[in-house]
Amino acid sequence: MPARRAKLRQAALDNPRRPPLRCHPVSASSIQRSPLLLADGWRDYQLLHCGFGMKQERWGRVNLVRPDPQVIWPKADGPEWRGWDGFYHRSSEGGGRWEFRKQPPEHWTIGYERLGLTFRIQPTSFKHTGLFPEQAVNWEWSSALIKQARAAGREVNVLNLFGYTGAATCAAAKAGASVTHVDASEGMVKWCKENAALSGLAEAPVRYIVDDCLKFVRREIKRGRRYDAVIMDPPTYGRGTGGEMWKLEDSLWELLRECREVLAPEPLFFLINAYTARLSPTVVANLLHALLGPRGDGVITAGEVGLPVQADSGATVLPCGIYGRWQRSA
């Protein structure tokens, strides 16, 4: 029986009427799995200690301790926190409150010297400070691409969606781009304007838009506007200016498809940041591949961003989110 099967297989292979299998190359953007990117270029900010669900940071001269759900390991020198100016206490009912040993000013500034940027820092009732310092790695990446394009004589228009307080907007504008900054919160857009002024960009070509991001992009499609780059930091949940419900897993792909329609014929880059455990770097890479891979003229990278912990000379790293980048091939 085995000999008979072998003869049948050989006969099938020898049959000239049987069409040979052919492999057709598919033009697509390549995907690179990148290691953790460390935002280690700060002078005005430091992540001092981490442990027991909390992190201690230096924001200029102000020392803050606040929760971080990623920190499930113990603090090396024990559970006591020393030398803090402000401590955020979570409430069992949700939210929390700040306790200050020494009342800091309502707000103050820190700088990111590498890019010549200055940001307003202000502790908020929901534990944030108005800035995500780990994103410095993406500011530098996008700035370099913009500067390269501008040096070649190209005008660069950037669309920043869910722009928050505008650090990425300021970085792009400082590099020479015209930027459209969109966020559904009027307060965040005002904060962005202040950051721009602090960074010497009060007269820079920045459009400040308070709007639902998906609705805005759809209107831009109708207007025929095109952008050379898109940056977005979509939340897990949210509401637009008209109460529109945003749910990441239901709405992100729809927004991405619409953003593809506002891209210039030869875009520079597309950046997605995310802070939700519902997305992994692989998922973001897959989304960008489905969106832009068929173009065949770009490279996709995806990974984590993080901050080195100073207490052990950076041996411990706090993971702070994920990113996916599409970049036009040289």
One-character DSSP codes across 175-216:
TT-EEEEEES-HHHHHHHHHHHHHTT-TTSSEEEEES-HHHH
User: Which pLDDT score, from 0 to 100, does residue 160 have?
Assistant: 98
Q: What is the pTM of this model?
A: 0.89
Say what the pLDDT of residue 24 is.
35
Separation CA 278–CA 285 (nearest Å): 14
Q: What is the pLDDT of residue 108?
A: 98
CA distance 35 to 32: 10
Q: Write down the H helix ranges in 52-111.
A: none
- Which pLDDT value is given to residue 63? 96
The predicted structure's pLDDT at residue 257: 98
Q: Say if residues 48 and 311 touch (Cβ distance below 8 Å).
A: yes
| Domains parsed from the chain with CATH numbers | 30-328 (3.40.50.150)
81 DSSP assignment? -
Please report, in tens digits, the pLDDT of each residue of the chain (330 residues total): 445 544 444 544 444 443 443 333 334 677 887 779 999 999 999 999 999 999 999 999 999 999 999 999 999 899 999 999 999 999 988 889 999 998 889 999 999 999 999 999 999 999 999 999 999 999 999 999 999 999 999 999 999 999 999 999 999 999 999 999 999 999 999 999 999 999 999 999 999 999 999 999 999 999 999 999 999 999 888 777 777 777 888 899 999 999 999 999 999 999 999 998 778 999 999 999 999 999 999 999 999 999 999 998 889 999 999 999 999 997
User: Please, how many CA atoms are within 13 Å of residue 230, restricted to the half-sphere of its CB?
Assistant: 29
pLDDT score, position 8: 44
Helix/strand/coil (H/E/C) assignment for every residue in 12-39:
HHHCCCCCCCCCCCCCCCEEEECCCEEC
Rounded distance between C-alpha atoms, residue 71 and residue 69, angstroms: 6
